[in-house]
A and B are shown apart, each in its own frame.
Chain A
Amino acid sequence: MSTHSETIGHGHGEETHEHGWKGYLYILLILLALTIITVTASRFDFGSSTANVVIAMTIATIKATLVALFFMHLKDDKPINGLIFVSTLLFLAVFLGFCLVDADSRFDTRPATYKGPVDQMALPTLDVDKSVAAPAAAAPAPTATGGEHGAAKH
């Protein structure tokens, strides 16, 4: 695999050996094989839709890693470039992870058309929230919390 800084560094010499290109071809073949595997895997049911998503995303990540390391030359490149890339992915993971956790705690994730039995242990729906919250708001403010709150202030 050629590194560009190396090529530039040694490029002026007369006896520079040529870096091979066949490695790139092998990477392409692996990537195409992984595409076939992704398509095949999507036809199977791995128990839950979550399992299928995890498997599909794992294969995609393997492919992305191969592209980044070999086609984008991060394997032999200056570390700063890889650092920029990896830290971007880290921030994307924070963005994605926290948003999904937050959305999961906020919304009723059942489809809008869901008409089946309601699991009482499930997260409350928006409607349940209202019915619970309304009487509490209408009732006189609990003296205990108010007192504690006031006490804490002083």
Chain B
Amino acid sequence: MSQAHEASLTNHDEHAHGHHPFHQHHFATMEQQFDASKIGMWLFLATEILLFGGLFVGFGIMQARHTEAFVAGHHHLDWQMGALNTCFLLISSFTMVMAVWAASNNKNGNKQKVLITNLILTLGFAGGFMVVKYFEYSHKFHDGLLPGKFFHYTGPDLVPNMFVFFSFYFMMTGLHGFHVLGGMGAITYLIIRSIKGDYNTEYFTPVDLIGLYWHLVDLIWIYLFPLLYLIS
């Protein structure tokens, strides 16, 4: 027994003693560890939905109350920019799910390239989203279309209470934008660990969980886009 143990110690790194190096000791099996992590992630996503939910409720109430101001405000948003960003996020969701697929089917490194390529593509589309967002924001800043008391737009189509629309616009897209930035950080972490070769059929939990988070960010944008850019 001790001989076998020594053999395994020399064959693998110092952590390996008959189980997967990423298998945490308080879980009976890798599958149990994966399922537990996944439930935790879904609970986190539930809190995220309720966080954004509060803003959506506020938007709904204020839109009913200041319809004219919201319609006038919405005309200052470029739907083409919004549509482009929608496409960026949808495609990045696809490349993310491809990364999860590659990681979960990665045996002896045969999907290693697919995994890393798709993660880099996801990061690229997320970056594209932020670049478009930057151009949109700087245009709003230039026009004085700012939230709350910072609003100082003086165009011919100025409507009373228009600042309310831009308060919601910046709060909702801003909070969403921070989520995109956070996701980009998380995907960068995945790329580094993927290059180290940490993810394969037996262990790909981080790829799966950050994938779920990324799809939720996409899902929230699916509602933000028509609400802010399209409804008149």
Q: List the interface of chain A (C-beta within 8 A of B).
A: 2, 4-5, 7-9, 11-12, 18-19, 21, 24-25, 27-28, 31-32, 35, 38-39, 42, 49, 52-53, 56-57, 59-60, 63-64, 67-68, 70-72, 77-78, 80-81, 84-85, 87-89, 91-92, 95-96, 99-100, 103-104, 107, 109, 111-113
**Residues B201 and A7 in contact, CB atoms below 8 Å apart:** yes
**Residues B223 and A64 in contact, CB atoms below 8 Å apart:** yes
Pick from A71, A84, A100, A111: contact of B60, CB below 8 A: A100
Q: Which B residues lie within 8 Å of A4 (CB)?
A: 34, 38, 100, 104, 204, 208
State whether A35 and B50 are in contact (beta carbons under 8 Å apart), knowing that A52-B231, A96-B57, A111-B66 are contacts in the complex. Answer: no
Q: Which of B195-232 contact A (CB under 8 A)?
A: 201-202, 204, 208, 211-212, 215-216, 218-219, 222-223, 225-227, 230-232
Residue in chain B with minimal CB distance to A70: B97
Pick from A5, A56, A104, A111: contact of B230, CB below 8 A: A56
Q: Which A residues lie within 8 Å of B226 (CB)?
A: 38, 42, 56-57, 59-60
Q: Which B residues lie within 8 Å of A64 (CB)?
A: 219, 222-223
Q: Taking chain A's interface residues, is the majority helix, strand, or loop, or is none over half, making it mixed? A: helix
State whether A5 and B67 are in contact (beta carbons under 8 Å apart), knowing that A88-B46, A92-B49 are contacts in the complex. Answer: no
Residue in chain B with minimal CB distance to A99: B57
**Residues A71 and B223 in contact, CB atoms below 8 Å apart:** no
Q: Which of B96-129 contact A (CB under 8 A)?
A: 96-98, 100-101, 104-105
B34 CB to closest chain A CB (Å) equals: 6
**Residues B231 and A7 in contact, CB atoms below 8 Å apart:** no
B30 close to chain A: CB less than 8 A: yes
Can you identify 29 A-B contacts, CB atoms within 8 angstroms? A2-B101, A4-B104, A7-B201, A8-B31, A11-B201, A11-B202, A21-B101, A35-B225, A38-B226, A42-B230, A49-B67, A49-B231, A52-B231, A70-B97, A71-B215, A71-B218, A78-B38, A81-B39, A87-B46, A89-B49, A92-B50, A100-B57, A100-B60, A100-B61, A103-B64, A109-B65, A109-B67, A111-B66, A113-B160
B161 close to chain A: CB less than 8 A: yes
**Residues B223 and A92 in contact, CB atoms below 8 Å apart:** no
> B6-14, B87-95, B181-189: which one contacts chain A?
B87-95
Q: Which B residues lie within 8 Å of A109 (CB)?
A: 64-65, 67
